[in-house]
Chains A and B, each alone.
Chain A
Amino acid sequence: MKTIKRRDLLKMFSFIAVFGGIAGGAAYAFVKSLFPKVLYEPPKRFKVGAVYDYSDGPNFVAEHRMFVIKEGDKYHSLSSICTHLGCNVTFIKLSEPRTVTVRGKEIEEKWEFHCACHGSKFYGDGTPYTGPAPSPLPAYAMAISPDDQQLVIDKSREVDSNYRLTIQV
């Protein structure tokens, strides 16, 4: 059986510890530098204007790629980013309302969302019904800003598609 001297073993371990440590540390630093600590990106929580800026139905907020949807005194928001591969869906107003069954529940829809990139189509509540999109358009929590009563969307809080913010004006 091949034996190794203690001195050689210690030499080998020292070598690995010193140079392996340096190389490993450098590699860690290189990789870590690719994940910035601060992202200079638009905030996840933002104001999107006063309630009276919005008309009934989906209103596209281009800056944030969101739809603010007003139905009477109820508001909710849907992302306009297709869940397939990130293109922008467009809002299609139906010529006349129709009844569709979504997850076993009948709903009347007046508009749909269509994606130009790969043909995904979503019901008015954001549920995909044809094309490659695998999941519904995400809905986000909304609130009223206490300082200037603007609508606020919080993209860090995804909510159920039944979520509605009621605002009595």
Chain B
Amino acid sequence: MGIWNRFSQKVVRGWNPVSALHETEAIDRIFWAHWVPTDDDVTRESTSATYSFYLGTVLAVLFSILCLTGLMQMLHYVPSVDRAYWSVKDLQFIIPFGWFIRGLHRTSAYLMVIFAFLHMSRTFYTSAFKKGRKSNTNGWINWLTGILLLVLTPAMAYTGYILPWDQVGYWGATIGTNIMKSFPVIGDGMRQFVIGGTELSQDFLTRIYAVHVVVLPLLMTLFISYHFWRNKKDGGMACDDRMQQDEVARDRTSGSDKSGIDTVDTPPERPLMFMKRLLWVSLATAAFAVLLALLISFPLSAPANPVMAENPAKAPWFLLWMQELVASTTVTIGQYRINGGFVGGVVIPGLLLLSLALCPFFDNSPPEATGVWFHPSRLRQNIIFTAIALAIILLIFFTYFCRGPNWVFYWPWETWPHVH
């Protein structure tokens, strides 16, 4: 027995299957695999790449990379308004491979925002949130947990964006905290609570730092763990639920019992195959993030200048759609003028999130639609969802390419005039 095999048997697996049949016990026996859905209630389709695209796995891997690269950056970053910028500058230019660690952190953060959106879209298009017809499943709980994670992900990216205390971070924070301030009645108090005073200063940076490196990652870890656990308790992916229903329907029509061998419902012959797939997806994700980090550079802007914002001062790309909304949704009702910060920054995103959260309770498509990509009975829901998703994506592109100095519209091919 080679050294690797011996190491693997003693330390990694702790147990060595002797046959394919024996491998079905792998999930329960191997510590590293115990969180994977067991072969008792997971079908082959549930582990198929074309059903889920392993988007959740990709996200978990990206989060792990973020934790690791974040930890590495914490060793160099100084959360002080006087030194934060210069410590990030040192990280970028002085610390060996600091540029890579920072680049990988940013790339992974941006990929995480993209993949969280894709993951949510996948769940919507397959109406996986409907899962719950089986007596022991609660798909809607995982959908709501997913929405929490969908909010936490850009929240982490946004708080991280502020930390270098450069121009984009400082003005991003100014705009973000003023959106909070635009909240009627309690806005001022909320802003003061968040920034620890009335102006962005050391207290605010310290709080954002604590939130970014402790509070949000802990919440993410908690909810990701719960998300996984819930999925396992719910018996894997939503397509399983549909299959079981198909089976019940078949039994009802044919009157047959469950003694016949059903090729679809046969447990995977080799559950470790699933583990291997997870490993491959993880490695591919990490490799992709590393490649992007090598190819894309993330320059620092100038140090924060509280007197002069960059012109145009643009939010991080994933918040550009909200920036366009806050810039164009100030409304006048009678003698009152309602700040676009509140309409575009709180009301519209809040309503979108609320609609998402209510999906499982108002989607009246038949059970057959559960776990099926683009089921015909959900045409209307899918069209509305796609329209909103496209509108958000288009707004991001529009704001990125068509908003120039002083927030004036320019065609993407037009040159912006030089301002301050």
Contact = CB atoms under 8 A, between A and B. Distances in A.
A114 B203 CA distance: 30
B3 interface: no
A70 B171 CA distance: 30
A114 B197 contact: no
A79 to B, nearest CB: 13
Nearest to B193: A34
Interface string A34-51: 111001111000000000
Contact of A36 (B197, B340, B419): B197
A41 B201 CA distance: 9
Interface in A106-140: 114-119, 131-135
Interface of A: 34-36, 39-42, 62, 65, 83-88, 90, 114-119, 131-135
How would you classify the secondary structure of chain A's contact residues: helix, strand, loop or mixed?
loop
B339 A119 contact: no
A116 B312 contact: yes
B313 A117 contact: yes
A132 B308 contact: no
B382 interface: no
Nearest to A42: B199
Contact of A119 (B181, B327, B420): B327
B258 interface: no
A115 to B, nearest CB: 8
A85 B201 contact: no
A165 to B, nearest CB: 24
B406 A84 contact: no
A41 B312 contact: no
A145 B338 CA distance: 38
A146 B338 CA distance: 41
A137 to B, nearest CB: 14
A85 B175 contact: yes
B326 interface: yes
Contact of A87 (B181, B309, B329): B309
